Amino acid sequence: MIEILRQHIVGRLGNDLDNLDTVLNCFKTVTIDRNQFLVQEGEVCKYVYFIVKGCLQVFVYDDEMNETTRDIVIEGTWCSELISFGSGKPATENIRTVEHSELLAIDRQGFQKMMETVPQFNKVYKQILETSYANSVYRINTFVALSALDRIKWLMEFRPKLMTRVSSKLIASYLGINKDVFSRLKAKL
């Protein structure tokens, strides 16, 4: 399982990393069922997760307990409530498994150690943060002005796997449209 992460890191930072194994030992394996919370609003997010296998939903509740999904994340990527993880303040979002998942988790202490051990890792937090920020900006700029139909077309173009992998309900909450509307419009494509 750690091998997947090794490949991910080597693919990004190159093959000439000293102490990579030391770093990889900072991660602990998490095997977890579907529909389990990894982070809950109001609690501090203690880990950054690397998804080896599975799928996570990052979302908030509105006052009627409807879910709005900010992101759906699958294997091969990082996931965390970064602001909470970095600051130690309570999280403002929830993270839950959508499927049975296999994760690698690193806590703050391990993260620190990682940055001290492998110099190149100094940039990892910054990189994750920058990527997350860029994604958010993109999502705002893309979605705010799009119609429901165009949002669905966007999904099919840029995240086609999600269409078949996760429930319509989840996708609808990600796209910010009603699930019935999603079902109707999808049929017309």
Partner DNA sequence: ATAAAACATAGACTTTTGTCATCATTCAAC
Partner DNA sequence: GTTGAATGATGACAAAAGTCTATGTTTTAT
Separation between Cα atoms, residue 163 and residue 160, nearest integer Å: 6
Rounded to the nearest whole angstrom, what is the least distance from the CB of residue 173 to a second copy in the complex? 8
- How many chain residues touch a second copy (CB under 8 A)? 27
- Which residue's CB is nearer to a second copy, number 19 or number 40? 40
Q: Is there binding between residue 109 and a second copy (CB under 8 A)?
A: no
Separation between Cα atoms, residue 121 and residue 111, nearest integer Å: 9
- Which residue's CB is nearer to a second copy, number 10 or number 134? 134
Looking at 32, 83, 162, 181, which residue binds a second copy (CB under 8 A)? Answer: 83
Q: Is there binding between residue 116 and DNA (CB under 7 A)?
A: no
Given a contact cutoff of 8 angstroms between Cβ atoms, the answer to whether 97 and 54 are in contact is yes
Looking at 18, 21, 29, 34, which residue binds DNA (CB under 7 A)? Answer: 34
Q: Is there binding between residue 158 and a second copy (CB under 8 A)?
A: no
Backbone φ and ψ of 75, nearest 5°: -55, 150
Rounded to the nearest whole angstrom, what is the least distance from the CB of residue 145 to DNA in the complex? 8
Three-state SS sequence of 43-86 = CECCEEEEEEECEEEEEEECCCCCEEEEEEEECCCEECCHHHHH
Vertex 8 angle, CA 7 and 14, to 5°: 75
Binding mask 135-154 for a second copy (x = CB under 8 A): -xxxxxx-xxx---------
Size (the chain), residues: 189
Question: Segment near DNA (CB under 7 A), from 10-18, 77-85, 106-114, 176-184?
Answer: 176-184
Q: Is there binding between residue 177 and DNA (CB under 7 A)?
A: yes
Given a contact cutoff of 8 angstroms between Cβ atoms, the answer to whether 75 and 23 are in contact is no
- Which residue's CB is nearer to a second copy, number 134 or number 156? 134
Separation between Cα atoms, residue 37 and residue 101, nearest integer Å: 12
Residues engaged in binding a second copy (CB under 8 A) = 60, 62, 66, 68, 70, 82-83, 86-87, 92-93, 126, 129-130, 132-134, 136-141, 143-145, 176
